[in-house]
Structure 1
Amino acid sequence: MMYAFFLVPILFLISFLLSSVILVHQAETIVIERLGRFHRILGPGLHAIVPFIDQKRSAIWTFVFVDHNHDYVRISKTLYRIDLREALYDFPKQNVITKDNVTMEINALLYYQITDVKAAMYEVSNLPEAIEKLTQTTLRNVIGSMDLDTSLTSRDVINERLRLILDEATDKWGVKINRVELQEVNPPHDIRAAMEKQMRAERSRRATILEAEGSKFAMILDAEGVQQSQVLRAKGQADAAIIEAEGQAQARLKVAAAEAKAFEMLQSAMPNTDPAQYLIAMKYMQTLPQMMEGQNNKLIVVPYESSALMGSLASMKELFKNIDEKQK
């Protein structure tokens, strides 16, 4: 009986000492109220409070979780310790109406962080639920000011507008909105089907354009190749004609020079004789064998004027004799 009398005070003292010491972990905080009024905020570390006079402030916050069946489940928790780390809030899908009266399903992700614990505890009763409702109404307003095409192609713009509006609205709650992301944007089934048809048509159009441009480019290359080959062929023929003409001209010049030299030699060897007669006779003698080819004892008619040329042949002996004497 005596042991029981001393055991009760000892247990009471141990309970008193345990309730007067609070250990706060890193990135957590606890709000302490003294006699029902705000007293102080406990940071990380070991703290002592006055039992029965100082009380930990609790808050009932409702959170949304996604279970293993991908369903959204709401859970209400009584919190004494406030987490100061960045938190993720995955909002359930909601229907929003665009400016052109198209209903879409949108799922958003919100990243927020508590910066003022006192405001988060006393300025709003259920902080996660308040943020959720504010995000839903803000999202409807933002999407309602855009048409369907703009809302589907302007996710970054929508995210930034949501972040700025929510950050300004939740500032009095001691919350900092770090980032807002639209996770899913689902138009109605008929709109998606029409968009898929439009996308396929656009891809077919682009493929047709690319194929036509490729064929056009190939035809241009072929035409340029043919043109270049024709130009090169014509240039080669022109160069060949020029070279041939130059060769013929040089040959004629050499022949003319040789004939002029022969004429001068005849003129010097036979001053009293016309060298032209000699040259004509030589041409006649060169042409006569060609005239005789293939005749086979047939009659050849020689013009009378040609017989006069034969008279000059008699003087050829005298000509060569004079030339030999001069060379000796």
Structure 2
Amino acid sequence: RHSLKEVAIDIPAQVCITRDNVQVGVDGILYLKVLDPERASYGISNFNFAITQLAQTNLRSEIGKITLDKTFEERTNINAAVVTELDKASEPWGVKVLRYEIKNITPPHDVLAAMEKQMRAEREKRAVILTSEGTRDAAINNAEGDKQQVIKASEARRQQQINEAEGQAAAILAVATATAEGIRKVAETIQQPGGVEATQLRVAEQYVKQFGELAKAGNTMILPANVADVAGMVAMATKVFKTVERPK
């Protein structure tokens, strides 16, 4: 009598040799279901034993195709390959192999120690790389910050120089404009009736004022030749303005 329910069968651990000649212990579990009790009874004497042996044989074959490192990465592919081969072999017995799962892959102790050492070295290497990358990034960021600071400082100096130049230009322009305006007004005043006389009077006043300041400045004073005639002094100071008088 055979149960038509799904059945789980433990596949005992066995030693398999990888492609790079490393011995590993591998065990697993197999799930199957009887579809045809008659063929399961008369097609083979003990299908459980036969399928177990086939599972171990195919597992050794699949492990031998890959290196030790790949055995941990290719578990799914190994399981699928074993199921495919077992399902083909068990079909005449009326048995359907549903799936196979590797439970444990156990390398020798010396290999485990070497793998642990390698992983530790890889972790240390990554830590050193991360540290160096962090230092490099920090240096780049600092350099970029210094660069931006220099650029901003130079731009600030340039803008300051521009502002100062514009201010000086504006001041020069204002002085020139005011001077030109003053000259224009003086010229207009001279052209008007009585303008020459007014200008002469103003020059005479300034002359007398400056002469007085000169007298206060020291004990020694240079006097004009005609000192007795103050009108002569004024006439000398205002002589230049008579040349601008136009004929009426």
1:197 aligns with 2:117: yes
Distance 2:25 2:187 in 1: 119
Structure 1: gaps of 5 or more residues: 1-79, 290-296, 301-309, 320-328
Change (3 A) 1:311 1:102: farther
Aligned twin of 1:64 = none
Deviation of 1:299 after TM superposition, in Å, equals: 9.9
Deviations 1:190-244 (A, max 9, x none): 1111111111111111111111111111111111112112211211121121111
Aligned twin of 2:176 = 256
Count of aligned pairs between the two proteins: 211
Q: Which amino acid aligns with 1:96?
A: C
Structure 2: gaps of 5 or more residues: 221-232, 243-248
Change (3 A) 1:110 1:313: farther
Q: Which has the higher contact order (CA 8 A, sep 6+)?
A: 2
Distance 1:256 1:141 in 2: 104
Aligned twin of 2:108 = 188
2:164 aligned residue (236, 244, 251) = 244
2:47 aligned residue (100, 121, 127) = 127
SS in 2 for 1:92: strand
Aligned twin of 2:62 = 142
Change (3 A) 1:117 1:182: same
Deviation of 1:311 after TM superposition, in Å, equals: 7.8
Change (3 A) 1:104 1:226: same
Aligned twin of 2:226 = none
Aligned twin of 2:24 = 104
Distance 2:78 2:54 in 1: 15
1:207 aligns with 2:127: yes
Change (3 A) 1:209 1:298: farther
Q: Sequence identity, in percent?
A: 39
Q: Which amino acid aligns with 1:243?
A: N
SS in 1 for 2:12: coil
1:164 aligns with 2:78: no
Aligned twin of 2:142 = 222
- Taking the TM superposition and a 5 Å limit, the aligned residue runs for 1:29-48 are none
Q: Which amino acid aligns with 2:74?
A: S
Distance 1:231 1:208 in 2: 34
The structure whose residues are more often helix, as a share, is: 2
Aligned-pair Cα RMSD in Å: 3.1
Change (3 A) 1:312 1:167: farther
Distance 1:312 1:237 in 2: 56
Distance 2:235 2:29 in 1: 124
Deviation of 1:114 after TM superposition, in Å, equals: 1.0
Q: Which amino acid aligns with 2:129?
A: I
Distance 1:144 1:151 in 2: 10
SS in 2 for 1:99: coil
- Taking the TM superposition and a 5 Å limit, the aligned residue runs for 1:14-33 are none
2:73 aligned residue (141, 147, 153) = 153
Change (3 A) 1:311 1:233: farther
Distance 2:237 2:111 in 1: 118
TM-score under structure 1 length normalisation: 0.58
TM-score under structure 2 length normalisation: 0.76
Change (3 A) 1:234 1:87: same
